[in-house]
Amino acid sequence: MIDPHVHLRDGEERHKETVRHGLMLAGKLGLSAVFDMPNTRPPVLRRDDVLRRLATAKAAAGNVFYGLYCGLTADPEQVAGAVDCVREFEQVVGLKLYAGQSTGNLAVPDSSSQKKIFRMLAEKNYRGVLAVHCESEEFFQPELWDRDHPLTHTMVRPPASELHAVNTILETAIQNSFEGILHICHISLPESVKMLEIAREKADFPITCGATPHHLLLHDMMMENPEGLLLKINPPLRSKKDREGLMQLLLQGRIDWIETDHAPHLKRKTRRTLRLRCARLPRFAAFNTCPPRAGRR
């Protein structure tokens, strides 16, 4: 079993999570591999960053394969170097594009820069995995956020943000002759899955998607509870109807991966203690949920 989406921080955020601790947990859960995301501090963007992370994973030892994604920016030289990292290192499992801001500063939110990235990947004959965080910042409404009412986070990043980003990324990939494997991370809406299915009919490359346990099992109104702030995530929890629809698609084999998006954050910080927030999720890990389609790696 593989968890293809984890955040093992180290660096400036080792108080949240570390590679050593994350791999230890993965081993106890019976995972054979985890794939780590690049929005760390400092981020994983270049060969030196990759070497540093691989050295950290090697020092952690254990029997769990440590894979990682190399992040993408709007800098052509950086994109070219990231592609080279995928080809050089077996443990670099793909590239990661943030189409909207999440944790860290790796977002490439404008469509013109996104098109340039896809054109560069085509020019470099990139045929590996490109994982994308799909949220369009033009739909964000940060002024609506009210810490005392955590449910407002669902309005700050509304469903239209994900739907627009998914549609844009799919069209951009098709129009710019992408030749790799396009993976849409942590889908939270049934409509997003249906967009992917339509795009597969037009695309000459594999398109996959993943869903998280929290988007499959929790819904937005749970944020009205006293500890609702602990359910603030990106993309946000959706309606009960959306949650149920997403679960049905999973049971029908129309969602390719369950990915935990494991990302502990600080609950409280004092002078003497740093307490980590632990998500209250079921004891199962991410895995491929349906047989591979032709062309999928």
Q: Which residues contact 92 (CB under 8 A, 6 or more apart)?
A: 50, 67, 68, 69, 70, 85, 86
Bridge pairing between strands 92-98 and 257-258: unpaired
Q: For position 266, what pLDDT does the model report?
A: 79
Whole-angstrom Cα distance, residue 80 to residue 121?
8
Q: What's the pTM? A: 0.90
- 12-21 per-position pLDDT tens digit: 999 999 999 9
Q: What is the pLDDT of residues 23-68, one digit of tens each?
A: 999 999 999 999 999 999 999 999 999 999 999 999 998 899 999 9
The pLDDT value recorded for residue 265 is 83
pLDDT band with cut points at 50, 70 and 90 for residue 101: confident
**What is the tens place of the pLDDT at every residue in 152-199?**
999 999 999 999 999 999 999 999 999 999 999 999 999 999 999 999
Sequence length of the chain is: 297
- Is 75 a residue whose pLDDT tops 60? yes
Quickly state the pLDDT bin for 106 (edges 50, 70, 90): confident
What pLDDT is recorded for position 27?
95
Q: What pLDDT does 104 receive?
A: 67
